[in-house]
A and B are shown apart, each in its own frame.
Chain A
Amino acid sequence: MLPLCSIGSGYGINGQRNVFSREVERMRWSPGSPAILALYCAVAMIGATALTGCASGLTTVAPTPPAEYSRLGSTKGSACGSLGIVATAYYFVPMGINDRVERAYKEAVAGVPGATGLVDVTIKEDWYWWVIGTARCVTVTGEAIK
């Protein structure tokens, strides 16, 4: 039993690292090993997040009004999103941050029944730190039209 335990622990009976454990250690960090593949996957995922997950795309917030329209009154919409998580060095996880402008605009339009768009639009962003992330809130105000 002792030899098996000593193999598992990586140490021989006399307390020296045995050949088997050195081989396992070498294989663990060799190219193509599961550990290296997992590391590649993690780096690829972070890279993909950093490259593709960091833009909202163009969102229309002050559209061209139709030739004829009627004003329905003032409205406001806001939406928040955060970047986290844990500490600054790990603030690359987007949580609803990329579509916050679009959501704020939609909320403003939805705030007035029958509205199809906005005119006289003003946009504003506030942000706050909430310890494990930073939140950004966009507020869209304007006059609803149809």
Chain B
Amino acid sequence: MRTIVRQLVVIAVAALLTACSGMPVALGTRASGPVPVGDARTVKGEGCGFQLLLLIPISINDRAERAYMQLEQQAGGDFITDVQVEERWTYALVGTQYCTMMQATAIRPNSR
């Protein structure tokens, strides 16, 4: 019985610790050369999540990833550079809403 309780505690602690870690997001198109020349436009993406009560994350940890995915979709495969990030939060009594907004420049190279 004591072993089961210990295992449950370990699982709960591990779950809590991993729940506190966001997803790493690589920003901008990786390139070894210079930024391509072409038509540039602004693209945006946003991801929000809610932290209920003191420590219950609801779509919190992947909001930056979702924001960047949205931005990538808008870019449609074009070169992404000059990525800017805005963090917002809104107090909602029983918790806090967090939103990550990303804005970048998408460049469609002239050669395409």
Chain A positions near chain B (C-beta within 8 angstroms): 50, 54-65, 67-68, 83, 87-89, 91-92, 94, 97-98, 100-101, 119-129, 134, 136
Contact A60–B87 (Cβ < 8 Å)? no
Contact A134–B55 (Cβ < 8 Å)? yes
Contact A60–B89 (Cβ < 8 Å)? no
Number of A-B contacts (CB under 8 A): 112
Bound CA span A135–B68, Å? 23
- Beyond A54-B89, A64-B81, list 9 extra A-B contacts (CB 8 Å): A56-B88, A57-B86, A62-B83, A92-B91, A124-B22, A125-B64, A126-B20, A127-B57, A136-B98
Contact of A122 with B26 at beta-carbon distance under 8 Å, contacts A54-B88, A59-B86 already known? yes
Contact A50–B24 (Cβ < 8 Å)? no
Chain B positions near chain A (C-beta within 8 angstroms): 20-28, 30, 34-35, 51, 53-55, 57, 60-61, 64, 81-91, 93-96, 98, 101, 103-105
Contact of A59 with B89 at beta-carbon distance under 8 Å, contacts A83-B96, A124-B24 already known? no
Bound CA span A54–B84, Å? 17
Contact B84–A59 (Cβ < 8 Å)? yes
Look across to chain A and name the residue whose beta carbon is closest to the beta carbon of B91. Answer: A92
Bound CA span A128–B16, Å? 9
- Residues of A contacting B101 in the complex (Cβ-Cβ under 8 angstroms): 58
Bound CA span A46–B87, Å? 20
Chain A nearest Cβ from B68, distance in angstroms: 9
- Residues of B contacting A127 in the complex (Cβ-Cβ under 8 angstroms): 20, 22, 51, 57, 60
Contact A88–B89 (Cβ < 8 Å)? no
Interface centre among B21, B24, B85, B101 (most CB of A within 10 A): B85
